Structure 1
Amino acid sequence: MKIDNKPWFWIPLLNFASGLPYAIIISVSVIMYKNLGISNEDIGVYTSLLYLPWVVKPLWSPLIELIGTKRKWFLSMQLLISIAFLLVGLAIPTNGFFMMSLAIFWVAAFASASNDIATDGFYLLVLPEDKQSFFIGIRSTFYRLSMLAGNGLVVLFAGYLEHKYGDNTKAWSYTMICVGLLMTFITAYNFIFTPKNEINAVESKKETPHQNFGTIFISFFKKKQIGLILAFVLVFRLGESQLLKMLSPFLLDGKELGGMGLDTEAVGIIYGTFGVAALTLGGILGGIAISRHGLTKWMFPMFLAMHLPIIGFILLAFFHPASIYYIYIVVILEQFGYGFGFTAFMMYLIHVAEGESKTAHYALATGFMAMGMMLPGMLSGFIQQYLGYGNFFIWVLIATIPGLILSRFLTFPKDFGKKS
């Protein structure tokens, strides 16, 4: 039986603990390596390879489904992530820091992917179904807030230390150590406040004795419309995957390189202030909209809201306005649209995972999503160097079209997500 144990106390920070490691490993590492002298091409290739654990996580998701409880899994993985970030901070001042830090990030990425599997499964098991559509907006909002805490507050802190010490290496070393300490605090919080009771593996196997490692995979690929579903999940974030990799270099590069010429601290301020507010509002409104009217009515408008703000970056790249306030406007629109639109995508993935083995099936769906992020992201640095920033952002906008087209052919219950 599902239980409702004060979700406002545990859903926000539990999902923050999923998003923050992802933000640091996938996004903040881009800014860090950029400021430590690594080229755009190397940044695009090597930081995109860090997606791989999220791509292949379905291979071990049945183990999390069948062994132990989700709570034990995510607490253990969050502790491992905390230690990994501390080690990255200690590795940065050393010779060969690039490969050494990448190796540690890889360990953290596998732990983070496992944490995501357990966290998603915990949410689906513990929260009553009639509240999942509302709290999916809260989940995605706090997940995205953690991304902004990384791209905003963590980057702002690193920029402050860069100015204070005049030494990027020392600044980023101290920053990563502080991130490790923050993750330690979040892990302790989740240990205290997450519900202790859930449907554990033993109980699940009593209810569904036929389930095993192999049948969990096979049952996923027998779902209705599975070919269309996988095509949609793979291409939906085709544009976003490239945008995320090159957006920070665009803001940091000088105008002679086609960028906006901002410093690290300015980027942190932009994403850590108005960006946070816009994202929060968008995610909450997205969850409310779906819970009131269902996913069918809102899916396509939400997807448009998520993708159309890319036009703002096209305009910035071609006109390079002198006032920083234009950058604020574009970021606010982009963050609001993302918070609003991504809620629909996450709600659709919950529909895909419906049935037995929700944890493993949700992991499979998000694994294909990660593959759709990794491969284009690896090429993004080369594409940007070839096209220049303005034409690159035009290409990114065009790359969102296949996902929009495929979304029109997806079928699901008309009122799916609507609160009864």
Structure 2
Amino acid sequence: MAKEEKEFGGTLGAIGIMIFSHFIPFYFALSLQYNSGGLYFPSSINEFIENFKETCSPTWSNFFLYTGFFVIQLIFAAILPGLEVKGLPLPTENNRQYTYKCNALSSWYLTLIVGGILHFTGIFRLTILADNVGSILCVAVIFSDILSVVIHFYAILTSQTCRMAHSPIYDFFMGVWLNPRIRILGQDVDLKMIAEVRLSWLLLFLLIVSAALKQYETFHTVTWPMIFILTAQLLYINACMKGEECIPVTWDIFYEKWGWMLIYWNLAGVPFVYAFQAYYILVNCLRTGKPNENVSMIFIIILFIVLFIAYYIWDSSLSQKIRFRMRQQGIYVTQHGFPQVPWNEIKNPKYMKTECGSPLLIDGYWKYCRKPPYTADICMATCWALSCHQWTGALPYFYPIFFFFMIIHRYTRDMARCQAKYGKDWTIYCERVPYAFIPGVI
């Protein structure tokens, strides 16, 4: 078996990322609790420990809340109706093509309906999430770490590993199992896809809805910055659900292994780090008692305009590329989830033939730059942070900065992988499409 080349700075880089990834969501939780989302500087270790215990101690009730959500989504994935979609042939498994049941849209709608009924009937108030966000975060971190260990060693013991670097910590970080699946109620459920598409984004949206409901219950209004965050996340998450049939052919499913990096960030990192702006808005409204103070409606309108343009480019450009790839592989299928934005598919697209057999799209957005959705994604992330403009804190801007460097790193990984795969054809392609992110600029 070929030895995998190390990325992210190898073993030391993996250790550093794991430590930082554990630190940042807890730091955010403590900053929200003790400094309204501002920089948090405890006066001593003892103060930090006491603050941590008070804010982030896991409880059995929050354990059952978090794991219950996890189990319910797995059951939904097994029983709800959805398209059967074939993935790409996997070289590491003799070109086997897995079948994916794409029913995220059904799960998304059902979760929203059930959540709404439970909240408004008083059976389960969604504001419980906002009241216990630090404790639920701790449960999510512990759960994801334990799951990472179980998945890692189960894959090794059952000989389901691939592309290992034979460096224990690095392999644990990157993963050793490409397609972990479990059987639920007679159906195969792909854990990596469920975690990436549903567990992360659905929990994130519920956390943001909880913050908005908490604001409404306190002030009898939902402020425009909170409405903006809700709208932005609703668009983003709905797009992931409505286009789930496109995901089996993406790099995350086709190539990335399900190790600590994906498990932790999907189950703990994404929901709690990405929800920070909503909770920053909430705690600062609670602190000042004046939810609409210093809100610039002109600025909010500009943010909405930029958001809608960036979202449109992001959604339609991803759809163009992935649907082109699906047609080339003969696995094209679509469920037409709402909304289907204009120009999400190119009729008779132009493409460049390559010696390795995989064509390169040079039409639509993709004739202008190599990564149009990356640029749109960064714009949306920046808008999320700018929605907190009425206060002067720095932490809301962590996410777009972090996301920018993550995207740049992913871009370099993409380029290296494509250069190795396409060889001289990739050089020709880059000459034909010379810009990476913004046509005529960079």
Superposed pair shares fold, TM > 0.5: no
Q: Which has the higher strand share?
A: 2
Q: Which has the larger radius of gyration?
A: 2
- TM tier, shorter chain? 0.3 to 0.5
Q: Does 1 or 2 have the higher relative contact order (CA < 8 Å, sep 6+)?
A: 1
Q: Which has the higher helix share?
A: 1
